Structure 1
Amino acid sequence: MSIASNAGQAGSMGMGAAAPASAERAASAYAKVTRRIVPFIVLCYFFSYLDRVNVGFAKLQMQQALGLSDVVYGIGAGIFFWGYMLCQVPSSLLIYKLGMRRCMAAIMILWGLVSAGTMLVTTPTEFYVARFLLGVTEAGFFPAAVMYLNKWYPADRQARIMSILFLAMPLGMVLGGPISGALMTGTHDLHGLQGWQWMFLLEALPAILLGLLVLRMLPESPQSAAWLTPEEAAAVSGALSAENARKSSRLVDALKNPILWMLMAICLLFNIGNYGLVFWLPTIIQSTGMQSPLEIAFLTAIPYGVACVVMNRNAAHAERSGERRLHTAIPMLVAAAGMWASTLFPHNTVAAMVFLTVGVSGLMATLAMFWGLPGRILAGSAAAGGIALINSAASLAGLIGPVLMGGVKQWTGSISIAVLVLAALMLAAALLILAIPKRLMAAGAVR
């Protein structure tokens, strides 16, 4: 009895010592992963987002130079998402089979070349073709980035990581706005080209260079990461294997899950607001009385600068508390309220900017929380196809949002009414988020 008791005590002590050691290895591993791969992916996504939305800044010169109407511009801005949406699922499944790193590298080089080529458009048709091809070439990048991060982080760590990844979006406006405005102003008529043409060329080059670096910077798996110890790699792989065993791993099973379709609906609604705002925010600010492209670009940066802080604070608090429903829905309710309030001050730049900042901050906070959800129910090919389907809804929203804004503005003569439509869609998204079962939002849940 004494021997058994001693053995039991020793076993308990061994298990007690092993648990902290395992937790310490996992913490060390994820700290390294976050330092090594996340900043590079964020940088790549930054230029993906910038090359997608810089047409909103180009509009300030391009529309008059090419004689584009508001509706033509809206169609051109949105037609990007036709190519993006049509190629989303097939490109994602292909990426899953061929390997994410190689495909990400090819995607970045191709979209950089197409984005640079936009400087050559002279007619509405050429504008449409350039935007469509940009959508085709960019289609696989975001799903590939999300799938790649899913190979490293379990679901309970993904909200915080997604909030870091989505820094690329507000930073695309915070840094991209002033950069675009400065390029357009400083290069206008340089060597016979207009400022918007130089902007498309110069902002496309980093995507090509980063594409050449992808294979060097991103390891294929934890086991192939030379900067992880074998124990750390095993800790990451073990956590993912245990979690993935409880998820849908076949696309056909994922398609039967009503939560997938609910996530698609939510993604569609709030991204109509997101993309409508992204492509028209410079014009909204201009309508308050501002005229200088550079000043408008700097003002556009303010809401997204604040959003960077709000988005990460919200995700960090959600991770600490384990509560996800309110951390996802309340920011969207705040976004809807902010957009509505901004329409009350159509000729007051300061007041409009305050409420636009509230709206953008709420939208970005929800966006980061939302993209942590697919990884809670999907793995393997189901993750590849399911994430692509959800992102296809975002692509459809990108097609609808800019055209909706342009159409409502042209038909009513008021951009404020168009903003109110976006606010209503954000409210609907918030209500759908609250309808997601609590068990999906709970810490540790995967079904």
Structure 2
Amino acid sequence: MNHGATLLHLRGAAGMAAIYRKISWRLLPLLMLCGVIAHIDHVNVDHARRHIQDSLGFGDHVFAWGAGVFFIAYALFAVPCNLLLEKIGARKMLLRMMLGWGAATAAGALVRTPLEFYTIRFLLGMCEAGFLPGVILYLTYWYPAARRARVFAVFASATLVGGIVAGPLSDALRQALHLHSGMQGWQWLLLAQGLPAALLGIAAYFYLDDHPDDAKWLSGFEQQMVAQDLHRDEAALAGTDDDEDDEDEPPSALAVIWSLLRDPAICLLALATLLLTGASFALAHWAPALLRHWGAGGLLAAIPGVVGIAGMIAIGHDSDRRRERRGHFIACMVLAAGGLGLAIAADDGLAWSLAGLALATLGIASALPLLAAILTALLNRRRAAAGIALVGGVGMLGGAFGPALGARLLAWGDSAAMLAALIGLYLAAGLILMLALRMAPRRGGPDARDGLRDKMARS
């Protein structure tokens, strides 16, 4: 390549980067705010747990069943919600979901019996089920595979932000509104935290666009360049430069789901996601108790989350820059395992235990966006909606068993035994991902993977 051609290439790369920065500044702030609210709304009962128990007399088993019901509903409705989003568009679906889960959150203030509590948690899980898979699918409409790890990481950082602010915000609201108009503080907490979801759903409907072609804030040239990037991805997955399958009759939703269930690579990715999220929910559930045991309170308790946010964005950026996924994911699992190992070796010493938890959080937080980038690079347009939701829904089942697994391990031994088991789960997730990528076919048929898979997933 001569000097003139090199300069033209660099200008073209800089121009495309500017287009995607423009898209990111338009889409990501609102989607991240929605993500923060989604996290707060499904953990707020945990922060008000003691006060709900004092008011209603619920035992620990009621909250355990309530958590399980939420995640089961999430898993059951993830695929239908994502298929509906694909059909009616992200704007309409986000509006419906966020109005629904805002109403379910607020209705939690009215529960009086365990059955009512379970019903509300099920409805909340049903309404939230399409949010995370839906946003991942939505972002694939705007970003090619080579640019997704950083974008997914930036969006996923909203969950860590929600984890940092949920406790202080919930406590402040509950204390400020306690016994106002004769209602308990926890009731006001649920009522107040249901409103932002509804308002953000309305904002998303009017502010977002379903596809780049609908975006009036992009020029015609910018829309064309994004479309070309996305078409190259689809052509690579189809094993051809032309999307010849467009002329065929689209398969039914059941046919697509059945094809995913028969795909060993997708099933193994779902298993890796289940192990990863199960271990992560267990760690997140018991981390506050561990931090208190180590003597880490106040701002110290926020260190792992802050490190995780910074690290996941940096690792996502590096993964996109190097056009590599598998090695980054394995490195994240090693970081997670090594960080927890350091926490075990610290023997309850504050500094090293906190450092170990921060390293583990960095690895765990960075792994999920990479896994999403790998998954979306292996799915063609027809299978993306169902495939993303299927893998994500199976992964969310980890929220049902993860905390219970941690409790069982703590009952058998001490925190070191629980952390050692989580190390095993993280390493197993890394090994399963490697096996999944080896089983993903390279070529042949509408679901073939060629150089895109090698460059973006296996390197």
Normalised by the length of structure 2, the TM-score is 0.84
Give the root-mean-square deviation of aligned CA atoms.
2.9
| Counterpart contact for 2:260–2:267, Cα < 8 Å | no
Report which stretch shifted further, 337-346 or 171-180.
337-346
| Counterpart contact for 1:178–1:301, Cα < 8 Å | no
- Residues 312/242 of structure 1: CA separation in 2 closer, same or farther (3 Å cut): same
**Per-residue deviation, residues 197-234 of structure 1 (Å, max 9, x unmatched):** 33322222211100011122111211221111100100
Deviation of the 1:17 alpha carbon? 8.2
Whether 1:204 and 2:205 are equivalent positions in the alignment is no
- Look up the match of 1:443: 455
**Per-residue deviation, residues 9-65 of structure 1 (Å, max 9, x unmatched):** xxx999888756654542332121111112111111121122122333223543455
1:54 is paired with a residue of what secondary structure?
Answer: helix
Whether 1:276 and 2:288 are equivalent positions in the alignment is no
Whether 1:373 and 2:374 are equivalent positions in the alignment is yes
Structure 2 unaligned blocks of 5 or more: 239-244, 246-250, 439-450
| Counterpart contact for 1:153–1:240, Cα < 8 Å | yes
Whether 1:132 and 2:138 are equivalent positions in the alignment is no
- Look up the match of 2:429: 429
| Counterpart contact for 1:70–1:406, Cα < 8 Å | no
- Look up the match of 1:244: 234
Task: Find the aligned partners of 2:353 and 2:54 in 1 and give their Cα distance.
Answer: 26
- Look up the match of 2:335: 334
Task: Find the aligned partners of 2:424 and 2:181 in 1 and give their Cα distance.
Answer: 46
Corresponding pairs, count: 430
| Counterpart contact for 2:237–2:379, Cα < 8 Å | yes
Structure 1 unaligned blocks of 5 or more: 1-11
- Look up the match of 2:33: 43
Whether 1:82 and 2:88 are equivalent positions in the alignment is no
- Look up the match of 1:3: none
- Residues 277/35 of structure 1: CA separation in 2 closer, same or farther (3 Å cut): same
Deviation of the 1:355 alpha carbon? 2.3
1:219 is paired with a residue of what secondary structure?
Answer: coil
Supply the AA of the counterpart residue of 1:223.
D
1:323 is paired with a residue of what secondary structure?
Answer: coil
- Residues 381/210 of structure 1: CA separation in 2 closer, same or farther (3 Å cut): same
Report which stretch shifted further, 428-437 or 29-38.
428-437
- Look up the match of 2:210: 220
**Per-residue deviation, residues 387-417 of structure 1 (Å, max 9, x unmatched):** 01101111211111123234444x4474554
Normalised by the length of structure 1, the TM-score is 0.86
- Look up the match of 2:307: 306
Supply the AA of the counterpart residue of 2:70.
F
Task: Find the aligned partners of 2:391 and 2:452 in 1 and give their Cα distance.
Answer: 16
| Counterpart contact for 1:85–1:396, Cα < 8 Å | yes
1:16-415 aligned at under 5 Å gives the runs 22-247=12-237, 251=256, 253-288=259-294, 299-343=300-344, 350-409=351-410, 411-412=411-412, 414=414
- Look up the match of 1:4: none
| Counterpart contact for 2:324–2:458, Cα < 8 Å | no
Supply the AA of the counterpart residue of 1:336.
A
Task: Find the aligned partners of 2:356 and 2:58 in 1 and give their Cα distance.
Answer: 30
Report which stretch shifted further, 431-440 or 107-116.
431-440
1:3-14 aligned at under 5 Å gives the runs none
**Per-residue deviation, residues 315-336 of structure 1 (Å, max 9, x unmatched):** 1122222232221112222212
**Per-residue deviation, residues 109-131 of structure 1 (Å, max 9, x unmatched):** 11011012222333333322221
- Residues 338/446 of structure 1: CA separation in 2 closer, same or farther (3 Å cut): closer
